Chain A
């Protein structure tokens, strides 16, 4: 925003005492109103999250009587203890982690080469490109999808039912395709002249250059696998194969959490039905938030990459 930059620069230089810049009242008011809006929006996003965290550390009786509070009247880790001592959370964590890691790696292994083939001008690129686009807009419907996965592929109640449907997303293919097209053709030609075949060109030339976008797509796939409950609802019957998000959904739907959590120790005489949901939400968010720092540097690099090109 040029106006903002100008005002900011003026204020900084004024404070540094280097120039006597005239920052008008209007410009200052505009700047502070921008700050206020951004702060308000940030609070709007953060406060509900804080309420969940605070609520997860609130005793159940207080939750029922007082509802959500920014600063709870009492502190308790009972809900976390209840969840951790049950059998279900361990199963669900294992399922979510394995599905996310295997799914993300497999999805990248399928999507990236597929997009690379589409980006090369070979005879099959256009038909594949058309088919990818076609499947984005036309589908077999829910019943067809359900029959395919549960009856014809026989994947009901297996982890593959959670992994395979999301392996190739046409939208991500087109994003990768657009990025691959920016890789200089001269570099590929130079590699070919040096004796590289297609695989080496892909793996040693194109992929390293495309690291930002591959990391970004990888993160999107990981988020999708981690956050999914829809496939579990359709195809998973056994609670041993429930991912974390579906566990959360079950906790919201169930009238009594103890049936679902599993058999915690007899020292848990009361069932913290609300607290259990909040504690599980916090435990569900934790791992995926950790994924962001790993790919953050690629985001930054990716944003500025296009800006500096001539």
Chain B
């Protein structure tokens, strides 16, 4: 059917079709693909006065990660916030959540230039890369003008410590000067073994030994995060404050004390750290640690009923752990080896940030919204815990009681600060007390290099290689699974030359930073 074309005509038609298709896609690429970076942004000359009452309504789009509440529940809380803002900022709030397992959706949002006003990012995610790609607005001059309350509710040291390349690219979301650490213990098993609550690692080891003998089907101790038992011990060491450098994949460079010296574990191993590696390896040999530690950590958590001691961050037994263990007929308790009589050296780094993408058309309004959220305990409470009287109620000034658990806890995505933070009553008064202690900067000694960001441009190759070697050699060491001497020797042979180059560069930058501080 239809006229038959000659071969020449066919080729001409195909060629023109391809050209037309390519041309139209080029034209499409020339078309403005949505909001550009040159939207009207706030200027530093604006005043601090509250914004005028009759503002045109805008929808602020926020992109978070994690467990999303159902649209119904989130809608209720946001409706209440919008009602409170109706006469002033007049905003609608639209929050989307990328699942933890697919956080790359946040990267996709940034790279596609989608219209987003506030976005979550973190040092353990891609904040360094996204800053390097110039996705975020610098906030130093804008916060005092549009969000002074955001500045007030966080201590100055937190701001100084959480800059990137000397600038504020994101609002640090955190409450603790130093992250809490605990070991959750099956209290019923401990009591059945006739042992007291451990106060140090030797006593803990005695508990693990007895548990292994009397309960051979259970895992004595588990740590789900890559089985990094060594870090669980080093972070609770308040004597010499051993700590790895802040950049990922550089664990073999460490600091101890507070002298600003960057040390190399291969040539200048800390006795304290080596003894921790030895202890953790001994645990593995004795069968206290699960053998498939790197892959199955999650499956041996406390609420699976297979574990006697569970390593966790923060303080207080999580509600899910407690209820799940009680449903199995058990009981939980927790213990930390933090020492209040000593000042742990810390760099006050926070692990969560909220940033303003440059493509946002509502940069001023977004910052004013965060200012409102941080302006009072009532506003903070609403966004952090839900509708008072429905989802929660106060239990004193600094605790709260959950009434309806359908609104999840996610202040670390947008508003978390130490001034208004409440502890869930479920964690107990002891945990609340420890939380308050770690929120107080006076209880810690500031690391000399607080505020320093390592620029790895000069050592990118070495760091890439060290990253691969870390997976191969460091994790087996810190998880206790490898034969310590042999593994470490091999690691040293392969990595030491690379590490020395990075160490030199790191020390050089640290010295420069200290000199610039006059210290």
Chain B residue contacts of A142, Cβ below 8 A: 108
Q: Size of chain A's interface in residues, with CB distance under 8 A?
A: 43
Question: Contact: A253 with B320, CB < 8 Å?
Answer: no
Chain A residue contacts of B305, Cβ below 8 A: 61, 64-65
Given A64-B328, A151-B112, the answer on whether A234 and B99 have CB atoms closer than 8 Å is: no
Q: Is A265 at the interface (CB under 8 A from chain B)?
A: no
Chain B residue contacts of A41, Cβ below 8 A: none
Q: Is B96 at the interface (CB under 8 A from chain A)?
A: yes
Q: Is B303 at the interface (CB under 8 A from chain A)?
A: yes
Q: Give the shortest distance, in Å, between A185 (CB) and chain B (any CB).
A: 11
Q: Give the shortest distance, in Å, between B394 (CB) and chain A (any CB).
A: 22
Q: Is A44 at the interface (CB under 8 A from chain B)?
A: no
Question: Contact: B14 with A259, CB < 8 Å?
Answer: no
Question: Contact: B114 with A151, CB < 8 Å?
Answer: yes
Q: Is A127 at the interface (CB under 8 A from chain B)?
A: yes
Q: Give the shortest distance, in Å, between A263 (CB) and chain B (any CB).
A: 5
Question: Contact: A127 with B13, CB < 8 Å?
Answer: yes
Given A147-B33, A249-B99, the answer on whether A263 and B73 have CB atoms closer than 8 Å is: yes
Q: Which B-chain residue is minimally distant from A60 (CB atoms)?
A: B327
Q: Is A114 at the interface (CB under 8 A from chain B)?
A: no
Q: Mark A209-244, 1 if CB is under 8 A from B, else 0.
A: 000000000000000000000000110011110000
Q: Give the shortest distance, in Å, between A251 (CB) and chain B (any CB).
A: 10
Q: How large is the interface on B (under 10, 10 to 19, 20 to 34, 35 or more residues)?
A: 35 or more
Q: Is B460 at the interface (CB under 8 A from chain A)?
A: no
Question: Contact: B101 with A253, CB < 8 Å?
Answer: yes
Question: Contact: A258 with B2, CB < 8 Å?
Answer: no
A207, B189: Cα distance in complex, Å = 71
Question: Contact: A256 with B108, CB < 8 Å?
Answer: no
A270, B108: Cα distance in complex, Å = 36
Q: Is A3 at the interface (CB under 8 A from chain B)?
A: no
Q: Give the shortest distance, in Å, between A140 (CB) and chain B (any CB).
A: 8
Question: Contact: A253 with B72, CB < 8 Å?
Answer: no
CB < 8 Å neighbour of B10 from A126, A143, A150, A234: A126
Binding site for B on A (CB under 8 A): 60-61, 64-65, 87-88, 120-123, 126-127, 130-131, 142-143, 146-147, 150-152, 198, 233-234, 237-240, 249-250, 252-256, 258-263, 270-271
12 contacts between A and B (CB under 8 A): A61-B328, A87-B72, A120-B1, A122-B2, A127-B17, A143-B111, A147-B114, A150-B114, A240-B71, A255-B67, A259-B407, A263-B70
Please name 19 further chain A to chain B contacts, defined as beta carbons within 8 Å, in addition to the given A131-B21, A147-B113, sorted by A numbering.
A60-B327, A88-B70, A120-B2, A123-B2, A123-B3, A146-B108, A146-B114, A151-B112, A151-B115, A198-B1, A237-B94, A238-B71, A253-B67, A255-B67, A256-B408, A259-B67, A262-B70, A262-B72, A270-B327
Q: Is B34 at the interface (CB under 8 A from chain A)?
A: yes
Given A121-B1, A121-B2, A146-B112, the answer on whether A260 and B70 have CB atoms closer than 8 Å is: yes
A120, B3: Cα distance in complex, Å = 12
Q: Give the shortest distance, in Å, between B426 (CB) and chain A (any CB).
A: 13
Question: Contact: B108 with A143, CB < 8 Å?
Answer: yes
A258, B70: Cα distance in complex, Å = 9
Chain A residue contacts of B28, Cβ below 8 A: 152
A87, B408: Cα distance in complex, Å = 17
Chain B residue contacts of A60, Cβ below 8 A: 327
